[in-house]
């Protein structure tokens, strides 16, 4: 049947995560640090509100852009938290997860041949989503010695006459790297100079632990060239509800609504009701989860460093991204052998981009008990490798 596939889809590479998932899924007693979603179940009050809405008969479509009450809440939330000013009626769209918002944004702005910059290591969906939208992904490789922080000169180097936009993700999946206002501003300067659009994926914005978060469009003159993408999945522990949103200039958002109305109609109604409750009454639940992530971040980072895997302190998201170079293994070897020997699943760093080689992604969105056990197992695993490779250990210090 392959001859029937569109060329674009046939050329699309399967995700490296998928392969690893198949391997891990066959095994028993796996402790997974490979999960890119919260371990918390959605707070009960959101679930209960969704029940209530269903009982009341809210089972039909909503407006294409999402319920106006929800768009008002999103607008108010962004205003309160990040000092942003978006009109609920034409600058906010509610989507099926942030993933759909990324897809809509790209299809809205990309002409065939347009280049869109992706900053690697990155979330695995950006590159394929750009290709599917008919664009050409151009990747920037951030450097380990810069703590995987994007530098303005790296954007300069990647820009060509065809560059249309850049995708940013702050805090970043998979590295947990967090960019402060002072670090974002020089990037904004280059972006303005070259008249680029920005797709700013801020799904992890609430999950930052040490410093205040700066939303990219809140930087001077960036709002008019930024589509802000976020959602409820990570901060509110609502991944399965599939609910995200995008905000931006009215012309761009209404163009996104146009695609959305023909391809999706609207985001699920019951999920929109749960999200409404999350924004109205979810602050304490969110804060409790953030406190817990921060503690586990502290725990996993100090444990990984003790084990002998060099791991900088990630400022946000729920991922640690330690170097495994001291073991002398590749990322894929490390992840596969660790899974086989100790039944701990981590994601090899190279699936997030070539510069992720030499690193693994460990999600700490897992109970402390599981994390503790995973660290014990990894300690055993790494100790065996370091015995064999004493030279590497010295070299890494």
Partner 1 sequence: MMEHEVELLKLIEKNANLSVNKLAKLMGKKPAEIEEMIAHLEEKKAILGYSTLIDWAKVANEEEVTAMVDVKVTPARGVGFDKVAERIYRFPEVKAVYLMSGAYDLSVSVRGSTMMEIGHFISEKLSTLESVLSTTTHFVLKKYKHDGIILEDEDDDDKRIVVSP
In the complex, the residues that contact partner 1 under the rule CB under 8 A are 15, 17, 20-21, 24-25, 30, 32, 34-37, 39, 123-125, 173, 291, 295-296, 298-299, 302-303, 345, 347, 368, 372
Q: Smallest gap, in angstroms, from Cβ of residue 71 to partner 1?
A: 27
Q: Which of 276, 282, 275, 270 is nearest to 51 (CA)?
A: 270
* Residue with smaller CB distance to partner 1, 260 or 296: 296
Evaluate whether 349 touches 174 at the Cβ level (below 8 Å). yes
User: How far lies 130's CA from each of 1, 136, 167, 198, in Å?
Assistant: 25, 6, 10, 13
* Residue with smaller CB distance to partner 1, 114 or 342: 342
User: Please, where are the H alpha helices in the chain?
Assistant: 7-11, 16-25, 44-55, 68-82, 97-109, 126-132, 152-158, 181-193, 250-263, 269-281, 283-307, 331-342, 368-388, 390-396
Q: Which of 174, 155, 152 is nearest to 165 (CA)?
A: 155
* Residue with smaller CB distance to partner 1, 266 or 365: 365
Give the count of beta carbons closer than 10 Å to the beta carbon of residue 219.
Answer: 20
Q: Smallest gap, in angstroms, from Cβ of residue 30 to partner 1?
A: 6
* Residue with smaller CB distance to partner 1, 39 or 103: 39
Q: Smallest gap, in angstroms, from Cβ of residue 15 to partner 1?
A: 7
* Residue with smaller CB distance to partner 1, 85 or 333: 333
Work out the angle at residue 42's Cα, subtended by the Cα atoms of residues 40 and 48, and round it to the nearest 5 degrees: 150
State the SS3 of 11-36: HCCCCHHHHHHHHHHCCCCCEECCCC
Partners of 117 in the beta sheet?
A: 138, 166
Contacts with 329 (C-beta within 8 Å, 6 or more apart), sequence order: 337, 385
* Residue with smaller CB distance to partner 1, 32 or 177: 32
Q: Smallest gap, in angstroms, from Cβ of residue 29 to partner 1?
A: 11
User: How far lies 118's CA from each of 89, 164, 302, 357, 391, in Å?
Assistant: 30, 12, 30, 17, 36
* Residue with smaller CB distance to partner 1, 164 or 242: 242
Partners of 119 in the beta sheet?
A: 140
Q: Which of 324, 326, 301 is nearest to 394 (CA)?
A: 326
* Residue with smaller CB distance to partner 1, 114 or 201: 201
* Residue with smaller CB distance to partner 1, 242 or 296: 296
Q: Smallest gap, in angstroms, from Cβ of residue 43 to partner 1?
A: 14
Q: Smallest gap, in angstroms, from Cβ of residue 51 to partner 1?
A: 17
Contacts with 232 (C-beta within 8 Å, 6 or more apart), sequence order: 238, 241, 243, 244, 274, 275, 278
Q: Which of 242, 247, 248, 246 is nearest to 267 (CA)?
A: 242
* Residue with smaller CB distance to partner 1, 21 or 77: 21
- Strand bridging mode 344-345 / 347-348: unpaired
Q: Smallest gap, in angstroms, from Cβ of residue 34 to partner 1?
A: 4
Q: Smallest gap, in angstroms, from Cβ of residue 388 to partner 1?
A: 27
Q: Smallest gap, in angstroms, from Cβ of residue 158 to partner 1?
A: 23
Q: Smallest gap, in angstroms, from Cβ of residue 25 to partner 1?
A: 5
Evaluate whether 381 touches 309 at the Cβ level (below 8 Å). no
């Amino acid at each position: 049947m392959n001859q029937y596939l569109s060329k674009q889809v046939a050329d699309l590479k399967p995700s490296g995560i998928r392969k690893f998932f198949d391997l891990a899924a066959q095994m028993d007693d796996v402790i997974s640090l490979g999960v890119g979603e919260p371990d918390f179940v959605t707070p009960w009050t959101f679930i209960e509100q969704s029940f209530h809405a269903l009982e009341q008969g809210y089972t039909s479509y909503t407006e294409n852009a999402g319920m106006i009450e929800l768009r008002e809440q999103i607008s108010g939330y962004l205003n309160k938290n990040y000092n942003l000013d978006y009109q609920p009626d034409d600058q906010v769209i509610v989507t099926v997860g942030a993933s759909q918002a990324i897809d809509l944004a790209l299809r809205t702005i990309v002409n065939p041949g347009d280049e869109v910059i992706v900053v690697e290591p990155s979330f695995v969906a950006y590159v394929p989503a750009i290709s599917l939208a008919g664009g050409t992904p151009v990747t920037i490789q951030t450097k380990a010695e810069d703590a995987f922080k994007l530098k303005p000169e790296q954007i300069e180097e990647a820009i060509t006459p065809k560059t249309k936009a850049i995708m940013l993700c702050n805090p970043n999946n998979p590295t947990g790297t967090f960019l402060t206002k002072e670090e974002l501003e020089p990037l904004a300067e280059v972006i303005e100079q070259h008249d680029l659009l920005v797709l700013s994926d801020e799904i992890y914005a609430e999950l930052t632990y040490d410093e205040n978060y700066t939303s990219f469009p809140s930087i001077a003159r960036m709002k008019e060239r930024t589509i802000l993408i976020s959602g409820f999945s990570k901060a509110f522990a609502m991944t399965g509800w599939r609910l995200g949103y995008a905000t931006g200039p009215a012309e761009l958002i209404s163009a996104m609504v146009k695609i959305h109305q023909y391809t999706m109609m609207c985001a699920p109604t019951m999920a929109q009701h749960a999200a409404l409750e999350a924004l109205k009454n979810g602050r304490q639940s969110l804060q409790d989860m953030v406190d817990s992530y921060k503690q586990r971040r502290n725990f996993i980072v100090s444990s990984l460093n003790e084990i002998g895997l060099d791991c900088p302190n990630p400022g946000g998201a729920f991922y640690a991204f330690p170097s495994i170079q001291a073991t002398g293994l590749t990322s894929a070897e490390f992840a596969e052998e660790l899974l086989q020997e100790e039944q701990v699943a981590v994601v090899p760093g190279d699936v997030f981009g070539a510069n992720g080689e030499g690193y693994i992604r460990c999600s700490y969105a897992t109970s402390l008990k599981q994390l503790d056990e995973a660290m014990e197992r990894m300690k055993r695993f790494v100790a065996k490798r370091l015995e064999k490779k004493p030279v590497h250990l010295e070299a890494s210090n």
